[in-house]
Structures are given as structure tokens and as C-alpha cells.
Amino acid sequence: MNYRLHHLRELEAESIFILREVAAQFQNPVLLFSGGKDSIIVSYLAKKAFYPAKMPFPMLHIDTGHNFTETIDYRDFWVKELGCRLLVGSVQDAIDQGKVVEERGYNASRNFLQTSVLLESLETGKFDAAIGGARRDEEKARAKERFFSHRDEFGQWDPKNQRPELWNLFNARKHMGEHFRVFPISNWTELDVWQYLALENVPLPNLYFAHKRKVFQRDGVLLADSEFIPKRPEEQVMEMTVRCRTIGDVTCTGVWESNASTIEEIIEEVATSRKTERGGRTDDKRSETAMEDRKKDGYF
Amino acid sequence: MNSELLRFSTAGSVDDGKSTLLGRLLYDSKSIFEDQFEAVKTASERRGEEGINLALLTDGLKAEREQGITIDVAYRYFSTPKRKFIIADTPGHIQYTRNMVTGASTSNVGLILVDARQGIVEQTRRHAIISSLLQIPHLVICINKMDLVNFDQTVFDRIREEFEGFASKLDVQDVTFIPISALKGDNVVDRSNNMPWYEGTTLLYYLENVHIGSDNNHIDTRFPVQYVIRPYNDAFHDYRGYAGRVAGGILRKGDKVMVLPSGFTSVIDKIDTADGEIEEAFAPMSVTILLKDDIDISRGDMIVRANNQPTVTQDLELRICWFNDRPLQLRGKYEIRHTTQAARCIVQEIQYKMDVNSLHRNLEDKTVRMNDIARITVRTTKPLLVDSYSKNRITGSVILVDEGTNETVAAGMVI
């Protein structure tokens, strides 16, 4: 007998271990759900980790009001599939109540507003751990983040003062008012995610597959035509066959010209792609350290 | 699909070619994307640097980019059709020993870079000592910059002999030497035409083929219970599953097992997963075990075999690496975390500190500061179920946590 595991099975075992550790070490965890493939895979793994019991924590969606409609449809379908509870933190409500002020102008996005709604939702729900789908291969600041990532009472990340993580030992001790972000799929790459989704036959939002859509070009990125993005006069809308590699808000998620209409074709495309998936995310392009800066403030 | 996961760690400073080597492995395996490459190129130009500084790919934090140094462990990924690789890229300076220890703790392979012009230096010895302390199963010594010594075999042989002489004092099982030029690409991915005298493999071939099947312990059965699964629904009314990750040995359906610390024995009724029942489980699988008998079992207990038990003890001899600004306190109390168990402990004795450059034991100065390696004795408030670290890296390791600040202050290995 050959006691070896395929790398996807080893990653799966690691993620399941982390998810069970969250349930064991925290009082009141919550799983952050965006509707993207990474949070889909984390929630899928959470279902597996506690089988045949239900996952012992709810899901939280920070709804910016600027979603692709497909994302919300999928979210509601997926919550039923998993049989879990869904909580929604609404950016629109926060704007309406005057808690936050909408960004204006060219490339305006609600990305930044998500942070304060997220932190408020965590505080209201008294959540001490927020499970997320961030991966270390996505972005250079994330490459340094721990599985169990400590946040102070302001929700801030201190990258220079992170707790060392060795072996299988995770330290979830904290003071009152502090919380943790936990990233069970830290060690997965984009390709691992797709290969696993294919292996397990996980249902996905249609946005990931090639479809016809009205788009326009801005700063070298294709954006979906939407009422939420004011266009400049020179920005021409055209219909193209595209798909999303990541899913965020309509306002900051670039789409890619692609004919990949099955998961196998997506794997093929990802395996041969020479551009990173976040290459289409205008929220990352605001500066060289945009992600680190946002994470320090309490972003996902 | 048939590919394994291999974790390796590297350590190095700015100028020994580590970033160049990693950059080459990532680039040649197509794991660097065009837009990343463009971003690094732009950043290098903006900083007025000649050429493309591949370190900017791995040094992700603002402070690191500003200071031009690697501070923290960065994890990088690449894969070939044979294996997926996780690189723990750590800084090499002595003030970052703790980061090297962190990176080494889960590695199958330790990659040590030697500058062919300089031979074995203090940093090489330090990396080798840390690799041996952390029991990385395989070491690969890349003698780099061979192009700058005319690809001379005598240089390679001399460095190799010197390292072997030094390594004989260490606990390292498997050492491989490869002459390379990271900059020119010799023996990294492609075989070098400049060193016909070298009969070994390229670095990538080594990483793809080194035997790691025995790196996990498949002999001594150890299953730390992590979480108890009780569905409380009609379909699974009496279901009581012990979820956890196998830390050693092989568990099979029908096996007679013992639960520690209670000592009750039972039989494995079922090994369950969300994909259905399986016949056997081994490290590092995450599974759920169901037993024939109703025994009171909770997180922190361990399922083992009656004829092969870990040591049950409140007195631990540890080799530790200290992580914190505030020194280790003799008679101090800390939380000790081991597998899925936590207890409190008191530091009974500090035997000696070890010089991580020379292995020298310092019996006089017993103040254990940040990055120091020391041997200590602790007494715990309740018995822990431990193995020696050399037998099992999971059941033989602990961390110490400061109960006031909640910081992880030390990593410990059971002697």
C-alpha cells in the first residue's frame, strides 16, 4: 500500500483541519461569503468538515448593492444547498443611514465602504472569528498572512507583529473586543481551486463561464456595462464573449475575453494564462500596496 | 491527476542569489505572471535599480520593500506536472532565526544556498543547524554562482567536503549537493553544459523526485481528537464521531484502539468522511472516527494502540526557540499548546543556550532572548501525550503562549 495523498486531497485535509480548529477554539465564528469561487470552496469545505452535522456557524454576506445579479441568485441557491443560515450586512443601508459616504467620481467604488460595514456586522453579531477565502498566491501582502490572523479592537491587521505559526498549532487567544480572520485555503492556488471544483463537481455561478455581455474598456481592463459605473463619453460599449476570473462588485471586477464554457476549459485557460486573476481588479491597482493598506484597516 | 505536495524552505540574505534562484524556478515553471512581472519591472525602475529585482516579487510588505529586506516568512507556490510546491521563503539573518524556524517546521526539504566564492560561512552553518533542529527530512545544498568560479569541480568538492565534515555533528539524514548558477540557469531546471563532471540531477529534478513518502510517520498510530461531531438530527440520531487529523500511523476499520488519557479500549467501528466511509486513514488525512463503545471522549484526547503509546507526562524536556522581545522567565508560567490540547506550565530549569552558529552550549548566560535556542525543563498542570520530536513532528512539538499578551512566545521540540 502506498500511503500518499494527491496534493488536492492534502490541501483539503489541511483546510478541513483549520475549519474544525475554528469551531473548537472560537465561541462565535462566521463565514464570510462573497459569491466568488474562493468563498464557495471554503463553505463547501466547511460542509464537509462537519458532516453529517451542519456547519456550526452562519454565513455573512457584505452586500454592496453593486453586485452582479447572478451573484445574488447564486448566493440564495447555495445557502439552500448547504442548509445554513445567511446574514447580510448592507452597504446601501449604511449609506442611507448616513453612516458612510459614497465615493464619487471616476472609478468610484463601494469597495472601501465594505470595510466599515464588515466591521460593524462583526461587532453587532459579536463574532470572534471571521472565516475568509483569501489565498496567499493572490496578492503579495496576502502571501505573508497567517491562517489565524489576529485583529485588534479596531479590526486592524498589524503585518509586522504577526504570531508565528508552526506545525499544526494555532493560537486563537485574544483580548475582549479583538477578533481573528481565518483563511483555511491560504495554501491553495487559483489552479488548485479550479481543479478541486472540477474534481468535486461543485456548482458555480454562471459568471465564471463564457457568456455574451455588454462591456467597455477602461485602463486596459474590460468592465461590464452597468448603471453603477458612469462612463466617459469616449468609452464605447460593445458586446463581447467574456467571463469573470474573480467576482467582486460590478464596479471593480474586470471581465476577460474568453470562450471557456466548461470547467475543463477554464482549467486549461488558467493553466496557460500569463496574467494573474486579480489583474482585472481595479481596487488593487490604486497603489503598489493597495491590498496591504486596506487589510491594515480591516478589509477582508 | 497524480501529483504530490512538497513543502520546502529557503533562507538567505539579499546577495546570495536566493531571490534569483526562486525567481528562476517560478519563472521557468511559468508561475510568475506577465502582470506581476511588469509590476516588478516598473517598481524596480522607479527605485532606480539596474535590471529587474525579483526580490520584489516575494517581499510583499511595504516595510520590506522600503528597506529592501525580507522580514517575514513569505509563502510562494509553483507546480510542475509531477508535484505542487509550497516554498516558505525566509530571511537568513540571525535576527530572524524565529522566521527560519517557522518556515522549517512544516518543510520536507531544506534548501541551503552557498556562494561558491565564499564557501561555508556562518549563515550556512546556521541554516544547517536550524534544519537539523527542526528535523527537516531532506537537505539540498545548492552551491551557487559556479559561473563565477569557472565551473570548477575542485571548488565544488572542497565546499562539499567542508560541509560534510561539519554536518557529521548534526542530525541530518539525507544531504544532496548540486552545483548551480541561478543567474545563468545551470542545473536549476536544465542540465548544465558547463559542468560535465557533475553526474547528479538538476535542482528541479531533485525537487520533483526526492522520496517524501516516508516523511510522515506511518508506524506509531496517533489520532488527536480535535472536535466531536454530534448531528442531533433524526437521520444520525446516535452519531458520535471524533474528528481529527491523523498525526501518525495507520488506522483501520476493526482495529482495537485505546483512548488516552482514560485508558479505555474499544474497536474502530467506522472511519467516516463527507465522501463516505473509508477503510483506512493515515497522516495527514482529516477524518472522523466512530468507536464501537460509548466512551466519554473530548478534544485533546488521543486515540492510539494499546501496545504503542505515547509518553504520558507532566515533565517535559524541550528544545525551544524564543520568539519574543521579553526574555524567557525562569519559574515563569505560560500556556503550553500541544496537538489539540492546552495546559499551563511552569519553567523549572534552563539548562543551556545553544549558539546557533557553532552548536556551542552556553551554560553561563541563561537569559533566553528573542531568536535564542535553549534547552529547558517545564512542568505542566496536566499530563500531555507526547512523543519525541525525532519520532513524530506533530506529537513532539509544542508552542508556549504568554497568558498576558496572548503572543506565541516560543516553539518547543520534545527531546
Residues A195-248: pLDDT tens digits? 999 999 999 998 899 889 888 888 778 888 877 878 788 888 899 888 988 887
Residues A59-101: pLDDT tens digits? 999 988 878 888 899 999 999 999 999 999 888 887 888 887 8
Neighbours of B92 (CB within 10 A): 23
Residue in chain A closest to B397 (alpha carbons) equals: A167
Question: What pLDDT score was predicted for residue A65?
Answer: 82
Question: What pLDDT score was predicted for residue A222?
Answer: 84
For residues B21 and B144, membership in a common domain is answered with yes
Which of A136, A159, A163 minimises the CB distance to B407?
A: A163
Q: Where are the domains of chain A?
A: 7-192+289-297, 205-283
ipTM of the complex: 0.92
For residues B256 and B205, membership in a common domain is answered with no
Classify residue B216: in a domain, yes or no: no
Residues B203-222 as b/e (b if ≥16 CB within 10 A, e otherwise) read bbbbbbebebeebbbbebbb
The CATH number for A7-192+289-297, chosen from 2.60.40.10, 3.90.25.10, 3.40.50.2000, 3.40.50.620, is 3.40.50.620
Domain boundary among B275, B304, B333: B304
Cα–Cα distance, A33 to A59 (Å, whole number)? 6
For residues B273 and B334, membership in a common domain is answered with no
For residues B82 and B100, membership in a common domain is answered with yes
For residues B294 and B400, membership in a common domain is answered with no
Q: What is the CA radius of gyration of chain A?
A: 19
Which of A21, A51, A136 minimises the CB distance to B274?
A: A51
Interchain proximity A288–B65, CB inside 8 Å: yes
Question: What pLDDT score was predicted for residue B70?
Answer: 60
State how beta strands B4-12 and B83-91 pair.
parallel
Instruction: Return the DSSP state at A227.
Output: T
- Beta-ladder partners of B10: B89, B111
Structural domain for B9, as ranges: 4-209
Classify residue B217: in a domain, yes or no: no
Domain boundary among B273, B304, B335: B304
Cα–Cα distance, B245 to B127 (Å, whole number)? 30
Query: Which of A234-243, B19-28, B174-183 is the least confident region?
Result: B19-28
| Interface list for A 17-36 with B (CB within 8 A) | 17, 20-21, 23-24
Residues B164-188 as b/e (b if ≥16 CB within 10 A, e otherwise) read eebbeebebeebebbbbbbbbbbbb
For residues B257 and B324, membership in a common domain is answered with no
Question: What pLDDT score was predicted for residue B238?
Answer: 86
Place of cell 466512530: B290
The C-alpha cell at A9 is 486531497
Q: How many domains does chain B have?
A: 3
Please say if the pLDDT value at position A135 is more than 70: yes
Residue in chain B closest to A175 (alpha carbons) equals: B406
Residues B391-413: pLDDT tens digits? 999 999 999 999 999 999 999 99
Question: What pLDDT score was predicted for residue B205?
Answer: 95
| Between B16 and B322, residue with greater pLDDT | B322
Classify residue B280: in a domain, yes or no: yes
For residues B238 and B140, membership in a common domain is answered with no
Residue A227 in contact with residue A242, Cβ under 8 Å? no
Identify the CA nearest to B269 among candidates B291, B242, B252, B287.
B291
Classify residue B215: in a domain, yes or no: no
CATH number at residue B88: 3.40.50.300
Question: What pLDDT score was predicted for residue A268?
Answer: 85
Residue A78 in contact with residue A51, Cβ under 8 Å? no
Cα–Cα distance, B289 to B249 (Å, whole number)? 14
Please say if the pLDDT value at position B59 is more than 70: no
Residues B298-338: pLDDT tens digits? 999 999 999 999 999 999 999 999 999 999 999 999 999 99
How many CA atoms, within 13 angstroms, populate the side-chain half-sphere of residue B299? 17
Domain boundary among B187, B209, B231: B209
Residue in chain B closest to A23 (alpha carbons) equals: B227
The C-alpha cell at B194 is 558547463
Shortest distance between the Cα of A283 and any Cα of chain B, in A, equals: 15
For residues B316 and B279, membership in a common domain is answered with no
Chain B interface disruption, residue of A82, A149, A168, most B CBs within 10 A: A168
Shortest distance between the Cα of A230 and any Cα of chain B, in A, equals: 27
Residues of A in contact with B297 (CB under 8 A): none
Interchain proximity B62–A16, CB inside 8 Å: no
Please say if the pLDDT value at position A278 is more than 70: no
Contact residues for A115 (Cβ-Cβ < 8 A; gap 6+): A155, A294, A297, A298, A299
Classify residue B127: in a domain, yes or no: yes
Shortest distance between the Cα of A50 and any Cα of chain B, in A, equals: 7
Cα–Cα distance list, B152 to A18, A122, B163, B195 (Å): 49, 62, 17, 8
Classify residue B214: in a domain, yes or no: no
What does the mean pLDDT of chain B come to? 90
Question: What pLDDT score was predicted for residue B9?
Answer: 93
Residues of A in contact with B243 (CB under 8 A): 20, 49-50
For residues B238 and B326, membership in a common domain is answered with no
| Interface list for A 176-205 with B (CB within 8 A) | 186-187, 189, 191-192, 195, 199
> Exposed (0-12), middle (13-18) or buried (19+): which is A229, by Cβ within 10 Å?
buried
- The pTM assigned to this predicted structure is 0.91
Question: What pLDDT score was predicted for residue B363?
Answer: 93
For residues B121 and B201, membership in a common domain is answered with yes
Identify the CA nearest to B70 among candidates B143, B138, B9, B12.
B12
For residues B256 and B345, membership in a common domain is answered with no
For residues B176 and B255, membership in a common domain is answered with no
Question: What pLDDT score was predicted for residue B302?
Answer: 98
Question: Could you tell me the pLDDT band of residue B122, with boundaries at 50, 70 and 90?
Answer: confident
